Amino acid sequence: MAQLPPITVSTLDLARLEALLERQPESDAVLQLEVELDRAKVVPPTEVPDNIVTMNSTITFSMANNKETFTRTLCYPRDMDGDVQKISVLAPIGAALLGLAVGQTMEWPGPNSNALQVTITAVDYQPERAGDYQS
């Protein structure tokens, strides 16, 4: 697997995600998110660069295996309402997207042990950039 790219997480997202993880049963998804959070550079919400994927960001990304482009919103599990435009942070791709910057690529294990690769092409909406610290 390739070297992991640096990631940035806000103190607010970190606190909310740690509280979420405390309530979750142990699983691969929980462990994966914990690993991502442990390696993150943590900054105040007002100092998050506007090209970083934060919680509740709407992002555009491409998958290396098929060159398809997707636009999705990274959300908390409680906000998953069947909308296919949302990705839970507890999904493998959700944990992989968190904290990435535009232009960065992340690789993670996919089905049948095949590596999947995602590249961030745009942060279309970021709560911190919009001054929304309530989400």
Residues in the chain: 135
110 is a domain residue: yes
Contacts of 133 (CB under 8 A, 6+ apart): 12, 45, 127
89 is a domain residue: yes
2 is a domain residue: no
Report the domain count for the chain: 1
31 is a domain residue: yes
Across 55-64, average pLDDT: 94
Q: State the DSSP string of 55-114.
A: TT-EEEEEETTT--EEEEEEE-GGG--S-TTEEETTSHHHHHHTT-BTT-EEEEE-GGG-
Position 8, amino acid: T
Q: Average per-residue pLDDT in the chain?
A: 90
1 is a domain residue: no
Confidence of residue 58 (pLDDT cuts 50, 70, 90): very high
Q: Which domain holds residue 113?
A: 8-129
What's the pLDDT score for residue 69?
92
What's the pLDDT score for residue 29?
85
28 is a domain residue: yes
The CATH number for 45's domain is: 3.10.50.30
pLDDT tens, residue by residue, 13-56: 999 999 999 999 988 889 989 999 999 999 999 999 999 999 99
Does position 1 have pLDDT exceeding 50, yes or no?
no
Contacts of 20 (CB under 8 A, 6+ apart): 76, 77, 89
44 is a domain residue: yes
Rounded distance between C-alpha atoms, residue 93 and residue 74, angstroms: 10
25 is a domain residue: yes
What's the pLDDT score for residue 2?
56
Across 104-116, average pLDDT: 78
Confidence of residue 60 (pLDDT cuts 50, 70, 90): very high
